[in-house]
Amino acid sequence: MQEFGVPEKEIILRLTKLLKDDKKYDSGRILGSMCTKPLTIAIKIYQDFFDKNLGDPGLFPATWAIERDVIRMMSTLLNNPNGVGYCCSGGTEANLIAMRMARNSHDIKHPEIIVPLSAHASFDKAADLMNLDIIKVPLNENYQVDVEGVRAAISKNTVAIVGIAGTTSLGVIDPIKELNEIAIENDIYFHVDAAFGGLVLPFLKRLGYNIPKFDFTLDGVKSITADPHKMGMSPIGTGGIIFRDASIVRSNAFEIPYLAGGNFKQATIIGTRSGASVIATWAIFKYLGIDGYSKIVKKCMNLTHILSKGIKQIDGVSPVIDPIINIVGFESDRYNIHTIDRELRKRGWALGAFPNFLRIVVMPHIRKCHIDEFLSDLEDIVHHLKEKSSYVQKTPVKAF
Ligand code: 0PR
């Protein structure tokens, strides 16, 4: 840090220069992100309440009440009006909290968790941090976790089964109903990671899409991750963890007796946490309602279908699956997919690159003109590769 302060004007100028290389959602070039530009109302409200700290709820009881309301709204959307939980920093923290609850709800010395091979890295982090053995069960031909594989992986040490409703890579929904039955039969904590799907699937269902049960309607589901900062369009730093009932959390919270607002129990991993993001989320929920979200999700899905169809029409690349939610993965049986990724990046596109395919998440910041431009660039790139008869490599998609 330099010795003396710099005037505000100068700082803003410098920052404008320093940040000019950051990509912008509005450009439509960010195709591989699960985040998006927060709704305008959320940005304004966030600024107004940026000093609220939910790490000390006694000081901010009204913000705490708003958080309860946000959780109640999300929980109701997930078919459990009695759910309890927290807004947290994101899906990673939500999954960490869930795995901690699972571990603590069983008295087992060498706890193991069973997750699909497609599970998000947050479960590896949970395993590492909490000394859990993580068992990754392979996927079936639809990229869902293999149910019999999960059954076979259960041991006397299993403390959690995880199912995913909207996988990070392809947006697939695991056979949650079947996993639910296995969890009940074996009396094991069942967590559903709907970090992305949690604020997409309920709206798709309302739009008439055939969405299997994935939420609290299934009796064994103990907790669900659902992140407002993904399809909820909240400011970054707003995740969500919802439990079936308070009993799961009550015995697993830490007492913090010295807080300025008075004794309060915390079950989140972090202490000081943003109240502004929670208030902004509340405002978005009220502003959009189910109808508003459904319209946004409908728009994203329409573009998803246009994108998937467009990819099918380009010789040499094809979608990995027909999209289930607003995520499209595509592969190539002729060209090296990472060469395609490099060429797309040269033209400013930012996709998610998985071992054998590229992923696009059709977020609300993406418009039809961006999809058209992208398809045209992709076609052009593939055409050039064909001309150069570039290195051809068929790699079967298996990992995700
Ligand atoms: N669970 C699932 C199913 C996820 O897809 C993700 C994140 C998480 C949990 C963890 O959420 P947080 O990142 O909020 O902790 N999935 C995205 C991914 O890893 C996150 C992401 C977001 C990546 C924006 C890139 C990006 O630009 O692909």
For ligand 1, atom 26, which residue shows the shortest CA distance? 33
Same-domain check for residues 113 and 256: yes
Residue with tokens 């700290």: 53
Number of domains in the chain: 2
**Beta bridge partners of residue 115, listed in sequence order:** 136
Phi–psi pair at 385, nearest 5 degrees? -65, -35
Q: Is any atom of ligand 1 closer than 6 Å to the C-beta of 231? A: no
Asked whether residue 60 is assigned to any structural domain, the reply reads: yes
Distance from the CA of 228 to the center of ligand 1, in angstroms? 12
Q: Are 362 and 282 found together in one domain?
A: no
User: Which CATH number covers residue 353?
Assistant: 3.90.1150.10
Domain assignment of residue 398, yes or no: no
- Atom of ligand 1 lying closest to residue 93 CA: 15
Give the whole-angstrom CA distance, residue 396 versus residue 318. 13
Model-level pTM? 0.96
- Is 193 a pocket residue for ligand 1 (Cβ < 6 Å)? yes
| Pair 123, 216 in one domain | yes
> Is 266 found in the same domain as 155?
yes
Do 312 and 274 sit in the same domain of this protein? no
Q: Whose CA is nearest to atom 18 of ligand 1?
A: 168
Q: From ligand 1's centre to the CA of 31, what distance in Å?
A: 14
Same domain, 89 and 104: yes
What is the residue-level pLDDT of the chain in tens, covering all 400 positions? 999 999 999 999 999 999 999 999 999 999 999 999 999 999 999 999 999 999 999 999 999 999 999 999 999 999 999 999 999 999 999 999 999 999 999 999 999 999 999 999 999 999 999 999 999 999 999 999 999 999 999 999 999 999 999 999 999 999 999 999 999 999 999 999 999 999 999 999 999 999 999 999 999 999 999 999 999 999 999 999 999 999 999 889 999 999 999 988 899 999 999 999 999 999 999 999 999 999 999 999 999 999 999 999 999 999 999 999 999 999 999 999 999 999 999 999 999 999 999 999 999 999 999 999 999 999 999 999 988 865 555 555 555 5
- β-partners of residue 319 are 330
Domain range for residue 139? 40-287
Residue 131's alpha-carbon distances to 99, 100, 108, 113, 187, in angstroms, are: 11, 11, 12, 10, 21
- For 115, the enclosing helix (H) or strand (E) is strand 112-116
Q: Is the CB of 175 under 6 A from ligand 1?
A: no
Residues 89 and 164 in one domain: yes
DSSP per-residue letters across 82-106: T-EEEEES-HHHHHHHHHHHHHHTS
Neighbours of 121 (CB within 10 A): 10
The span from the CA of 51 to the CA of 143, in Å, is 43
Please indicate whether residue 354, judged by its CB atom, sits closer than 6 Å to ligand 1. no
Q: Is the CB of 168 under 6 A from ligand 1?
A: yes
Whole-number Å distance between alpha carbons of 279 and 275: 6
- Classify residue 400: in a domain, yes or no: no
Supply the CATH number for residue 94's domain.
3.40.640.10
Is 214:197 a contact under the CB 8 Å cutoff? Answer: yes
How remote is the CA of residue 250 from the centroid of ligand 1, in Å? 28
313 and 269 in a common domain:
no
Q: Point out the domain boundary residue: 239, 267, 287.
A: 287
